[in-house]
Structure 1
Amino acid sequence: MERTITLYTNPYSRGGIAHWMLEEIGVPYRVEYLQYGTSMKAPDYLAINPMGKVPAIRHGEVVVTEAAAICAYLADAFPEAGLAPPPAERGDYYRWLLFVAGPLEAALGLKACQVEMSADQEMQLGCGRLETVLDVLADAVRGRHYIAGERFSAADVYVGSHLGWGMQFGTIDRRPEFERYWQALEQRPAQRRSMAQIEAAMAEYPLPGAEA
């Protein structure tokens, strides 16, 4: 029996990553939009994600949270979509999925909170400095269409989303390597479909205080 996929998200969230991934795998799914501070913290949703954050997906009885985990799970659950390399070729795939989920996310968060690290703190924290993280990521995408081999994969959905949004909102430098990598990804039909749905949802579900 086919298991229904439900995406729990908010149009102003990292849920857009999971939304794009669902469009790439090309199977039916439903979207449940949640609001910050209300339905996202309601008991029904906290039973799905006790953190009270999005995105999350329910696939039958399986619940997956965290955008990187959702991308990896869907790639494995729907192998016919070809969004994960063969197991023996997944070194770069896992590396860059988790590099962006770990060091990049942490470094961006520290910068957003205006945390200035000492040299000792840089050594203690796995992310190090944001500039170093971005240097490493720029080297990874330089001259490449895809980050984990010769084919598009779930890692590109995740890495590309962070670079695209980061450059759009000014949290990531518009380096030539990042712009070239993202320009090809943002033209993918699945990405454009997901963005059209997200933009429509933004009008229906505005951020609190932005209704006027």
Structure 2
Amino acid sequence: MSGSPAIKHRRIYQIEAKPRTLKVAWGRDDIYNSPSIVYAFGGHGARSSDAHLLMSIFEDKLRYTNLVSILEERGYDKTTLKFSVALKPEGEAPATNRKRYSLKKAKPGELRVYWGYPPEDRHTKQLCYVWGGAGAARPDARVVSNAFEEWDVNNPGRERLENEWSRLGYGREQIQRMLGPKEPSETLLEALIQRGYDMDTLHFSIRQKDAA
């Protein structure tokens, strides 16, 4: 009589970022912490405040919704989430020839984001969103697009608090005094570019639970 098949456990790694790099992945900060989504920054220009920008989009509980919670509701496994981006090289970078146009693909069940040339515009680099079927679909890619290119990283939760306090009877001027001045609105894409990150190095991916 054969025994039950052995359950294969994934190894939980300690997440570290290379110098001048931001990295997000499921793992541990160190051997003493439980597994979670880790936001690592490698120093030499990559700062904790930059990592906080990513956290404000991926998991900030102040928002009505955050990216990870939306994707989990759509069947994605947060333990497969991966994101990385690096600062541009210091000093004058040598001129390089323009890379040949290529459309990257996603594996079955995977959502993927990269910087490149979409099929409809082979002359302007931008964030490209691809999905591999098997549960990963265009509407899911649209969710990620909204998070990267429309959500405000500088004022997370402000609109929610304004609405909640207004329902409690506070006046607009009183609410503004309580919250303080609003920061200039900025998307994650705009913030990363403004802070000197090289979009050619950006990578984001996450997979459906059944594909993990």
TM-score by length of 2: 0.26
Greater helix share, structure number: 1
Whose radius of gyration is greater, 1 or 2? Answer: 2
Q: Which has the higher strand share?
A: 2
